[in-house]
Amino acid sequence: MPSASRLPRSGRIDVLVNSAGGTMWTRLDEILDLSIFERLMRLNYLGSVYPTFHALPHLQQSRGRIVAVASMAGLIGVPTRTGYAAAKHAVAGFCDSLRVELLDSGVTVTLICPDFVVSEIHKRALGPDGRPLGDNPMANSKIMTAEQCAGLMIPAIERRERLLVTSGRGRLARWLKLLAPGAIDRMGRTGDSAFLQTRRSRPQSEARAAGRARPAADASPDDVETTPPAVPRSCRGGQRYWRRPP
């Protein structure tokens, strides 16, 4: 985050790239810890808002560029990423609104929406209990590398483009959402089914050790140990307190 003490060393700010991000990989009805949503919103959304706020006066002086790395999940719905998609949609809305505010300032806003990219974000995706999954379900996928993504980003930033969607599939999905939204829903469900099947086929002892056990098909309700989700009770002095329902 820019500060007055650091600016003299660099001289000025010409480009601000907001790229902090984290994700989840679980259905809403499987979640055990609702704080996942608050954590993802603070990281993905406020992680772009705060740096932009503090850098804006300096960017106005240099007529610079603001860049936010969102995701295709910020343009369309993606199953098992409800919290992540909501935060990235917030980033997109923030950028669209800020762009209008800065029309006469010389400062431009570029929104980057990558498709899947090989990175540690998948390995650190949060499971139902709020803990990182620890394995990368995208490890063997033929998807874009971080270097390839950066290679597409740099020209778009230089040209001060409004929006960059890094894949043909993503550009198609963006238009299909407007013309045939039902088709996008079916595509999203199909595309995510392979991962869900892989996760659910893990040995139950392994899943339980990771805090993500699913009850056996023939188990009775009395045989299944469950932990109810945490729910917010109140906010006092900026601190959130949590309780678990009985």
Place of tokens 């829903």: 185
Residue 37 C-alpha from the chain's centroid: 11
- Catalytic residue (one of 45, 50, 84, 241): 84
Per-residue pLDDT at 193: 52
- The token duo for 245 is 């329902």
Confidence of residue 10 (pLDDT cuts 50, 70, 90): low
Is 84 annotated in the active site? yes
Q: Which of 43-57, 143-157, 175-189 has the lowest mean pLDDT?
A: 175-189
Residues 6+ apart with CB under 8 A from 163: 110, 111, 113
- Angle at alpha carbon of residue 161, lines to 175 and 146, rounded to 5°: 80
pLDDT digits 0-9 by tens, 61-89: 999 999 999 998 889 888 999 999 999 99
Nearest one of 104, 219, 111, 230 to 160, comparing CA atoms:
111
State how far the Cα of 48 lies from the Cα of 46, in Å rounded to an integer. Answer: 5
232: amino acid identity, one letter: P
% of the chain at pLDDT higher than 90:
46
Place of tokens 């290679």: 151
User: How much is the pTM?
Assistant: 0.72
- The token duo for 201 is 């086929």
Per-residue pLDDT at 134: 79
